[in-house]
Amino acid sequence: MSNTISTKTYRDKYRSASLDTLLRAALVAEKVCEVDRSNSKTIQNPYGSQPTATVQALAGTYTPATFTTTDDTLTVADEVVIGEHVYNFEALLSRFDLFANRQDEINYSIATAIDKWVINCLCEDANGTYSTPSGGFTTAANINVIMSNLASKVAGYADAYKGLFLIIENTDVPGFVQAQATNGYSFADAALKNGFMSSYMGIDIYVVRSGTFADETTSTASGTKTWTNSGHRVFGVKNVTTYAAPRNITWDEKGVTGKTGKEICMDASIGFKAWVTKYDLIIDITLVA
């Protein structure tokens, strides 16, 4: 194995493969968005004006409406980057377990940054809104009310068959656990035995760490985006938004003048779009204290 990682070509293959495996398995973004894995810089999705049917008395006449089209485009304008200076570089390569562990840490850092970026873009671009009862998700008595109200927001749309999702932070979990353990019989028994259940009222629940939903203005977390999501959560229909998965991934190893070891860096382009024709199916939730 030491011969395998002693060549940069094989190291880059391992890096890209391990990163891709982690992103597909770990990202919440992969579960709730349509994922585009092409290397496209732009994704076009033009849409036409909404036709309206008329019911009238028998007359044999009609008034024609003007049909218009509007361009809607996902433009990949952000990138995720990471870099670090590794001393004793050759010693690291002689131990595959050390190399693999360090790569895992880099991958987790990239995955965390991408997930936070996509989730906040999703929340920021949501066109539907909902405010919770006082106490939000942390009050067990609110859970059934909130979940039923959220479900009603997208009920009746054909796209709802794709499945529903709710993204919360870990601090919201206690209210869910208490509600799950006291509602129903078989469901409550399962919750009491297994703990937090990741589906409730037919809605898949994804938990991210506290601080994921944030306020940012073109920062090192948000890139070109501006978010006002602190104290918010997001709900909606799966696969009605598009996440442009990392493309044009580049790994580089650079010698640094005056220093031993090497700098390792990675960059990849990412993008996100909530399409105008579907963004009513994404709900921005405001937590009421």
Residue ranges and CATH numbers for the domains of the chain are: 2-48+69-286 (3.90.1690)
pLDDT bin (cut points 50, 70, 90) of residue 4 is low
Spatial distance between the Cα atoms of 120 and 118, rounded to a whole number of angstroms: 5
Spatial distance between the Cα atoms of 232 and 124, rounded to a whole number of angstroms: 10
pLDDT, tens digit, for every residue of 129-141? 999 999 999 999 9
pLDDT bin (cut points 50, 70, 90) of residue 19 is very high
Name the most confidently modeled range: 8-12, 31-35, 50-54.
Answer: 31-35
Cβ atoms 239, 35 nearer than 8 A: no
pLDDT, tens digit, for every residue of 123-172? 999 999 999 999 999 999 999 999 999 999 999 998 888 999 999 999 99
Question: Strand, coil or helix: what is 155?
Answer: coil
User: Is the pLDDT at 1 greater than 50, yes or no?
Assistant: no
